[in-house]
Amino acid sequence: MLKVLIVDDEEIIREGLKRIVDWTSLGYTVAGEASSGLEALNLLQHEYFHVMVTDITMPRMDGLELIRRIRQKQISIKIIILSGYNDFRFVKEAMKFSVEDYLLKPVEETELTYNLHSLKETINSELETNHLEKENMYILTNKLMNRIATRTLSLIDFKNRADFLELKLPEAPFYVGAIELDSMNNYYSETLDADVRLNVYACKNIVEELLRNYGLTCILFEDENHRIIYLCGETNFSPHPRELAENIRCSIVQYAKEPVTISISAAVHSFSALHEAYFEAVRLLEYTFFMGKSTVITKELLPSLDQAPNQIKYDRSAYAKAIRNGNSTELTILVRKIFGEVALTCHHSKVYVQTISLELLIQAFDIVKEANGDLSALFDGTESMYRQLLSIKSMEGTFEHLIEILNAVISYLTRLRSSRPNKIIEHILAYIEQYYSHDLKLIELGELFYINPSYLGKLFKKETNISFKDFLNQVRVTKAMEMLIESTEKVYLISEAVGYRDYNYFCRIFKKHFGVIPSDVRN
């Protein structure tokens, strides 16, 4: 809806104008009214209107003086004059100030409706043009600032292009603030979905408005990873950088309902050092991993990393024992202790914590492999699981996710131990059924199924009530009996076909199972 201000010293005229046309159906809303030019001017200085409908003759400040003041102050608004005077002098004077139309009282509904309809088309067209111009300027500013911030543009070229774009640069010293939406993923893509894109745009507008209200000379742009970057001068009259950042954060939460984290670089004294301030602000955002989101981060708030050890050592055997024994409580205590040592030594690097987490996971997965487990049965894929772990943005979140994975490993190993005997024997029985003609031995099967051969022999006997050797012979002579009945193949060739290289041994085993020698089957 386009906002309309009605100005007339007679209340009955103002009320009549509000009722004479259906403003809503025309795309307007009467958002304000004033009884004098002075009152109207005060309103226009504090609130934005698209159209003003005003009388000429009013006390304190008449309509023509009001229009003159509006143009002097460069307030953008379309103006329609209503007057009871059919005097060309008024028309001529009004037209000097780019008035849209001059209507005589009493106003006809059709005439006012026609004017408002035509005016709406003009305003919408200008708004679209202004939006495109503003958007183009925003794109050009983004490109320019990203290049100087990443040091891919010389300082001379930067200043020349900034002059061309009429950018008002802050005076040194200045600092860089980086705003990151907490809802954004840890990794970034070149394109965002419409909702996220809209959120970034809304946050940028809020920051722009707040900086303008402070009267600060700042440059606002969006970097290639969709962070909102602001460049502000540091003066005796400007708010402290942290105070300003906190106000920005609170305003975004209040108006955009979007929690954000803001980092602030140290001040630099020339645009040649802008890239240093930019990269410092971006690096500081990584500390949301340790400090948490929805906060303001400065270098002064971070503990010193100078005393951090090169590596946090942990009891690998105790860790492995907790996993193998399925002791979830002991495992949680051990991992919590490791993370606690990281915090105590002030080593809050995101990459460092992630490296330790991955080291713990790798050891856990090695234990699964030692137990002949299948990681693909435990997770959709260790690679995607790693990416999921690395995407977490807080130390506590990493701990919780790591414990969740380790508990899943313990549960899997427990299930594996309880169900594995039957599973292994099932696989071996199927293997024998397919490869009975090969020279099968427990040693080769143990290697094939990752199990100790001696243990396999005992397990086979326990699950089948027959020894591996006897079972293999049973399968072979059964297959031989089938071939003797269904084919005319020579007996010694059948003996070889089912896996016997010694014909006499084949005959003895066959007679042991069936009570006759192979040649008697055909007789």
- The pLDDT assigned to 227 comes to 93
What's the fold here for domain 422-522? Arc Repressor Mutant, subunit A (1.10.10)
- The pLDDT assigned to 89 comes to 67
In 3D, which of 50, 48, 1, 53 has the Cα closest to residue 23?
A: 1
CA-CA distance, 310 to 327, in Å (whole number)?
30
CA-CA distance, 149 to 277, in Å (whole number)?
8
- Which letter does DSSP use for residue 310 in this model? S
In 3D, which of 125, 134, 120 has the Cα closest to residue 3?
A: 120
Q: Residues near 457 by Cβ (< 8 Å), separated by ≥ 6?
A: 442, 467, 468
Phi, psi of 52 (to 5 degrees): -125, 130
- CATH of the domain spanning 2-127: 3.40.50.2300
Q: Which two tokens stand for residue 276?
A: 């240093």
Cα angle value 418/423/426 (rounded, 5°): 150
In 3D, which of 32, 80, 38 has the Cα closest to residue 55?
A: 80
What's the fold here for domain 168-300? Alpha-Beta Plaits (3.30.70)
- The pLDDT assigned to 358 comes to 77
229 CA to centre of own chain:
18
Q: Are 410 and 328 in contact (CB under 8 A)?
A: yes
Phi, psi of 15 (to 5 degrees): -65, -40
Q: Would you give per-residue pLDDT tens digits along the chain (523 residues)? A: 899 999 999 999 899 999 888 999 999 999 999 999 999 999 998 888 999 999 888 888 888 899 999 988 888 899 998 877 655 566 667 777 778 888 887 888 888 898 898 899 888 888 777 766 677 777 888 889 989 888 888 888 888 888 888 888 888 899 999 999 988 744 344 445 667 778 888 899 899 889 888 888 899 999 988 899 999 988 777 789 999 999 999 999 998 889 999 999 999 998 889 999 999 999 888 777 556 788 899 888 764 444 444 556 788 889 988 998 889 999 999 999 988 887 776 555 677 787 788 788 888 888 887 777 777 666 655 445 666 776 787 888 888 989 998 999 998 888 776 666 567 788 889 999 999 999 999 888 887 776 778 878 888 888 888 999 999 999 999 999 999 988 889 999 999 999 999 999 999 999 999 999 998 887 7
CA-CA distance, 206 to 81, in Å (whole number)?
35
> Rg (Cα) of the chain, in Å, rounded?
41
CA-CA distance, 463 to 422, in Å (whole number)?
7
67 CA to centre of own chain:
50
3-class state of residue 339 by DSSP: helix
- The pLDDT assigned to 183 comes to 80
Q: Which two tokens stand for residue 362?
A: 């790798």
Please state the domain extents for the chain.
2-127, 168-300, 316-418, 422-522
